[in-house]
């Protein structure tokens, strides 16, 4: 339903085309993104399933570090990140997140986006560290263990 409502709000423009024009191109993405559809020739799954290369996902992390800017171009309002990176919107059952980001806590600036089958994008503004993890599973780790791995990498950033 969200995808349908967004497409109607965009005057019928598919979400993938909108994302290409408003996000992918301004960020200088190198590869085509892949967005799963609800069925063949259907709507993009607005709640999930946008995939990209590790390099391009890192560019999304750079967008987070710049608080929504790509060079001098503002792509996302800066205050959006205050909510997404610091304010849990839902709690319980391991689903603490806001706008698809899982903040580390109220006294921390780092957060991570978690994708399907162990895909992670971790961003730590304090150290300006971006970690992308692609994988076919969580590799036997819990989400909290991955968060600790990313924090350790951030503390020892080269």
pLDDT digits (tens, 9 = 90+) for 112-125: 888 888 889 999 99
Q: The whole model's pTM is what?
A: 0.85
Cα–Cα distance between 60 and 62 in angstroms, integer?
Answer: 5
pLDDT of 8-53, one tens digit each? Answer: 899 988 888 999 999 999 999 999 888 888 889 888 888 788 888 9
Instruction: Please state, in angstroms and rounded to a whole number, the distance separating the CA atoms of residues 56 and 51.
Output: 9
3-state DSSP assignment of residue 29: coil
- Where along the chain do its domains lie? 81-158
CB distance 122 to 114 below 8 Å = no
Nearest to 144, CA basis, from 116, 105, 109:
105
Phi, psi of 127 (to 5 degrees): -105, 0
């Amino acid at each position: 339903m969200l995808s349908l409502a967004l497409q109607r709000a965009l005057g019928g423009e598919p979400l993938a085309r909108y994302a290409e024009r408003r996000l992918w191109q301004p960020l200088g993405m190198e590869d085509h993104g892949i967005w799963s559809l609800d069925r063949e020739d259907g709507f993009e799954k607005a709640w999930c399933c946008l995939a990209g290369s590790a390099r391009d996902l890192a560019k999304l992390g750079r967008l987070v570090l710049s608080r929504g800017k790509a060079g001098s171009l503002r792509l996302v309002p800066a205050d959006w990140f205050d909510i997404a990176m610091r304010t849990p919107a839902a709690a319980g059952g391991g689903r603490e997140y806001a706008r698809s980001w899982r903040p580390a806590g109220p006294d921390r600036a780092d957060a991570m986006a978690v994708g399907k089958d162990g895909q992670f994008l971790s961003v730590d503004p304090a150290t300006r560290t971006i970690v992308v993890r692609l994988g076919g599973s969580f590799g036997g780790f819990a989400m909290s263990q991955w968060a600790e791995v990313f924090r350790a990498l951030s503390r020892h950033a080269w």
